[in-house]
Chains A and B, each alone.
Chain A
Amino acid sequence: QQQVKQSPQSLIVQKGGISIINCAYENTAFDYFPWYQQFPGKGPALLIAIRPDVSEKKEGRFTISFNKSAKQFSLHIMDSQPGDSATYFCAASSVETSGSRLTFGEGTQLTVNP
């Protein structure tokens, strides 16, 4: 009920390509869905987040698509750059039922080749 499943586990794209990472959740009480970027040896950094009342949110080269009926959401990175090479985590939380604690996906290691 609390799981968030993320795929793929690893992803290799060429510079300029589109990176797509997918997540699925089970708990319908989740109402906040952030994506975090983590570089080796660093803490997770918030990239972009969405609430289920919108189907898409775009910030620069990063877009979240959200499908409430399918309980799925995805991160698209347009014009991927070598500097985007990092591990990406999706997450979900609910203020009402779980005090905003985050349930994370397993992570996707993205490599962007020059």
Chain B
Amino acid sequence: NAGVMQNPRHLVRRRGQEARLRCSPMKGHSHVYWYRQLPEEGLKFMVYLQKENIIDESGMPKERFSAEFPKEGPSILRIQQVVRGDSAAYFCATLAGNQETQYFGPGTRLLVL
């Protein structure tokens, strides 16, 4: 998985709370992609970031969701006022040097009660 770390691995939130998911690619990797996997479904692209910039957020819901990748520290996917439909596995991926291959982290499983 090219050393991609995600935490927490499991997160339980009640409706209306905020969820913060973190992704730490290997040092020197400056591209991060976030994907969401609903139960029994494939992965759907959400957002693509490079350090300090959002490159493509075409897959992000317009409300309640935001993402950042600051100069220092991990990439953060933030979900405000969570609803039950946000329950899913959220994966981040980093881009290999060939600019094509993506290596995925272990994911964060979000459960909204």
Contacts and interface: CB of A to CB of B under 8 A. Distances in A.
Contacts of A56: none
Contacts of A101: 33, 45, 48, 56, 59
Nearest to B55: A99
A102 B33 contact: yes
Contact of B42 (A46, A95, A100, A106): A106
A99 B93 CA distance: 13
Main secondary structure of the interface of B (DSSP, over half): strand
Interface in A85-114: 89, 93, 95, 98-107
Given A93-B100, A106-B42, 14 more contacts: A32-B100, A34-B101, A36-B104, A46-B102, A49-B100, A49-B101, A89-B42, A95-B99, A99-B56, A100-B95, A101-B45, A102-B35, A104-B35, A107-B42
Interface of A: 6, 32, 34, 36, 41-46, 49, 89, 93, 95, 98-107
